[in-house]
Amino acid sequence: MSFRFETITPAVRPALDTSARMAARGTGVEAGMEQAFVASGPASTGLEKLLAGEALCVTTGQQPGLLTGPLFTVYKALTAVSLARSLEDSLGRTVVPVFWVAGDDHDFQEANHVNLITPSNEVERVELRSRDAADASLPLYREPLGAEIEAVLAAVERSTPETEFRGEVSAWLGRHYRPEADFASAFAGAMAELLGRHGLVVFLPTHQAAKRAMAPYLIRVLEQAAGIDRALGARAEALEASGHRVPVPVGDGSTPVLIEDRLGRDRIVADGDGLRTRRAREPWTLESLRGIARDEPERLSPNVLLRPVVEAALLPTLAYVAGPGELQYLPQTAPLYDALDVAPQTPVPRWSARLIEARIQKVLDKYGIGAEDLAGPEGKLEASLVGKDMPPAAADALHTLRRTLTEEYDRLERAAGEVDPTLEKTVRSARNNALGGAASVEKRLVGHLKKRNEVVTQQIAKARTSLFPGGKPQERVLNAVPYLVRYGTAFVDAALEASAEAVPELESAPGKP
């Protein structure tokens, strides 16, 4: 194969007590929610069983990204597929991987662009458009892609090699990323088609049917707002006292529920004995919010702490595949599970990896380095590799010169001190100047070697751009599309096989029927 996947860190494999989770988890999905799911190919069979109450599920999720977003989004979904398969084998019953599209999110600056690795090994940032400041809090599921998406798709054609797979990839993107489609639905359709043959089902919580099912839980949280706020604050204090980070601020009267209001998506906060929105400062009563939940449930949404709780309430999920950031804040959610009387799903770290193509592996092998060696400051590795090319005679002469200068000047300093102690400083200064001269000669030699070894610098730069574009991990910057164009479905199949490394050990699994 002309590429391979390298797991970035040894996968954490937590034990998953499947019997306990199954005992606490019901099955089935609320009637009417079927319209909120998107499934393609073999995934449709799993969805049918899930809707019929004949299956459990493993969930994961992410805000929608342009052309499926960064690589780690696909890796997240594939980890859920691998975990679902492992649980299915262990339990002897259907377990469906479900991807929750967080279309309520409004971080347009994160979602409005895609980074493509080009055939010349450059990173091309392709941006859909910027957003007017007045629309900063508009949820992504309400944001049409618009005519600008045509230029993005044209950039894919321009920036990827002409291969046997490019036509299929372009057609796949064109079916979903259309001007009239919104960010969430385009992303959902693309992910469902890309990974449907591996069983992934996509869930749109922004669909009217899902919003209607979700609304009662959000109202229950608002009804307990004061108590939940105190419990979240106490939980945060306990976590901090035990050395855990608390990334989501709590305990300040903010509820974990948001409403779409005149200033866009806005947090509902406590205001004396009542409630109001944080930015618009519009007052709300529980009765008026119950009316919104009944008549316009699409206006309400959970924040990052409440979302996994609502997910566990709506879906029969055993485990949630989480990224590093989510694993940091998930421990904060315990009071919300308690308040809604929902059994928590087990968090499982997503598989994290870098894709190393054959041309990049050749560079690593040629210089005897690993991928992690490229993570350091630009130029440092290059200098060390060029330094290895110093002629042995020059290196030996420089080493001998430094040793001789140090030894002889030390001897001179002792002798001078016997004549007059004030001369010791003069001798030390002369020694430092002499050593500085040697260093200057070495620097000039290395500089000339660098010029002679421009190929080294260029090849290392190429490898660094591929594995650490902009100094960041590949999976957080680059998009899957160029790799799909180069390798077709083999890219997804190989990633799925490698993602099995992230599957936890299963404990206490009940016997198969």
- Do 241 and 384 lie in one domain? The reply is no
pLDDT at site 421: 85
64 plus 166 within the same structural domain: yes
Domain assignment of residue 344, yes or no? yes
Q: What is the pLDDT of residue 420?
A: 85
**Where is pLDDT greater, at 35 or 389?**
35
pLDDT of 435 strictly over 80? yes
Q: Please report whether residue 513 resides in a domain.
A: no
3-state DSSP helix/strand/coil % of the chain, to nearest 5: 55, 15, 30
Q: Is the residue at 240 inside a domain?
A: yes
What are 76's two structure tokens?
A: 């997240």
Has residue 510 been placed in a domain? no
The whole-number average pLDDT for the span 477-488 is: 97
273 and 147 inside one domain: no
Asked if residue 242 belongs to a domain, the reply is yes
pLDDT at 158 > cutoff 80: yes
Phi first, then psi: give them for residue 424, nearest 5 degrees. -60, -40
Residues 450 and 461 in one domain: yes
In the chain, the percentage of residues whose pLDDT exceeds 70 is 93
- Which of 13, 492, 60, 17 shows the shortest CA–CA distance to 308? 60
Q: Does 44 lie in the same domain as 127?
A: yes
- Cα 469 to chain centroid, rounded: 15
Q: Is residue 186 part of a domain?
A: yes
Residue range 92-110, pLDDT digits in tens: 889 999 999 999 998 999 9
Question: Is residue 512 a part of any domain in this protein?
Answer: no
Return the pLDDT at 191.
98
- Domain limits for position 343: 3-211+311-351+474-503
Range 507-511 contact pairs with CB under 8 angstroms and sequence separation of 24 or more: 507/15, 507/16, 507/17, 507/18, 508/17, 508/18, 508/19, 508/20, 509/18, 509/19, 509/90, 509/91, 510/18, 510/19, 510/22, 510/91, 511/92
Shared domain check, 415 and 286: no
As a whole-number percent, the residues of the chain with pLDDT over 90 amount to: 70
Structural domain count of the chain: 3
- pLDDT tens digits, one per residue of 180-227: 999 999 999 999 999 999 999 999 999 999 999 999 999 999 999 999
pTM listed for this prediction: 0.86
Q: Does residue 61 sit in the same domain as residue 201?
A: yes
Q: Residue 232: pLDDT above 50?
A: yes
Q: In this structure, are 135 and 87 located in the same domain? A: yes
| Predicted local distance difference test score (pLDDT) of residue 381 | 86
114, β-bridge pairs = 126
Q: Do 137 and 266 share a domain, yes or no?
A: no
Collapsing DSSP to helix, strand or coil, 211 comes out as helix
In tens, the pLDDT along 50-93 reads 999 999 999 999 999 999 999 999 999 999 999 999 999 888 88
Q: What is the pLDDT of residue 25?
A: 63
Domain boundary among 297, 324, 342: 297
> Per-residue confidence at 510, pLDDT binned at 50, 70, 90?
very low
- What residue type is 483 in one-letter code? Y
Q: Specify whether 7 is located in the same domain as 89.
A: yes
**218 and 207, same structural domain?**
no
Quick one: 96 and 222 in the same domain? no
- Asked if the structure places residue 305 within a domain, the reply is no
CB 128 within 8 A of CB 115: no
